[in-house]
Amino acid sequence: MERVIDRDGLADFLRRRRELLSPADVGLPDGARRRTPGLRREEVAQLAQMSTDYYSRLEQSRGANPSEPIIASLSRALRCDLDERDHLYHLAGFAPPLRRAGRHISPGLLGLVERLTDIPVCICTDIEEVLWQNHLSDVILGVPCGHGLERNLTWRWFTDPRTRQIFPEEDWPAHSASHVAELRATHTRRNGDSDVAELVTALLDSSKEFRTLWESHEVAVHRLPRKRVLNPEVGTLDLSCEVLLTPEADLRVRAFLPLEGTETRDKLALLQVIGTQTFA
């Protein structure tokens, strides 16, 4: 079926949503006095991780056809609720995602995590696809790139050796067991939903280690609450991983707290200043 985009409708919706938001709504400073209400185009582009020129073209009913990941990013940047998100997808010629909590970050949840600036925080689906990370999480865990499997923590753990380099090697078996046990629990709870089944099949085909652990049939909702992360700038970070679930239990907010009695709190404060230059 041919994709049909309502370019004028999309442009109008983007512009009206932008004008309804204030900088405070999205965690930005007010700055100088504004001649028009709402956010500036460059602020929406920054929040959606795209160029200002690309976003401006969308508001002007021209430019390239936006992809689904672009529409998802705009939905989050413009703080759309589920009805608004679905409308945005329809305007862009896509079928909206299923109404599960697993892929939609509500404006309230996004507003909450954006205020947690002094600890690493990320939001993942129940199959460990990274949807959002704050600045410190980018610094210590790396900036997630790409889409789909490329943003899936479990897939990357078993297929990309670089993913493991930020953790001590002696901790790798515990991380592997935790990834598999949590995926097993999600697979059972979701009763073979296609996204879970496809991830499991891909991992079984790609990783002998995953296949061995999967066949052991261990199950856990959450394990490995303490993590050690290796950082080239400040050394080892000793962290406690607290997992908060949405009411539907399809989104996981992971907050990494410094362990008391260690130097990790001071190290995180230093990394806030250093920034992501190591990963540039």
Residue 249 banded pLDDT, cuts 50, 70, 90: low
Written as six digits, the tokens of 166 are: 């930020």
- Digit-coded pLDDT (tens) for 146-173: 777 889 999 999 999 999 999 999 999 9
Contacts of 43 (CB under 8 A, 6+ apart): 23, 26, 28
Q: CA 255, CA 240: separation in Å to the nearest integer?
A: 8
* Interior/surface letters 136-148, b for 16+ CB within 10 angstroms, e for the rest: bbbbbbbebeeee
Q: CA 9, CA 15: separation in Å to the nearest integer?
A: 10
Residue 102 banded pLDDT, cuts 50, 70, 90: low
User: Residue 280 has what pLDDT?
Assistant: 38
More confident residue, 29 or 226: 226
Q: Does 222 have pLDDT greater than 60?
A: no
Distances (CA, A) of 174 to 116, 157, 164, 167: 28, 12, 12, 11
Contacts of 152 (CB under 8 A, 6+ apart): 127, 128, 129, 130, 199
What percent of the chain stands above pLDDT 70? 91
Q: Does 243 have pLDDT greater than 50?
A: yes
To which H or E segment does residue 202 belong? helix 194-206
Contacts of 53 (CB under 8 A, 6+ apart): none
What is the edge-to-edge ordering of all strands in the sheet holding 121-125? 130-133, 121-125, 251-258, 235-245, 226-231
User: Residue 101 has what pLDDT?
Assistant: 46
User: Residue 246 has what pLDDT?
Assistant: 77
Residues forming beta bridges with residue 133, ordered by sequence position: 122
Residues forming beta bridges with residue 256, ordered by sequence position: 241
With 0-12 / 13-18 / 19 or more C-beta atoms within 10 angstroms meaning exposed / middle / buried, residue 211 is middle
Mean pLDDT for 101-105 is: 68
Q: CA 175, CA 56: separation in Å to the nearest integer?
A: 43
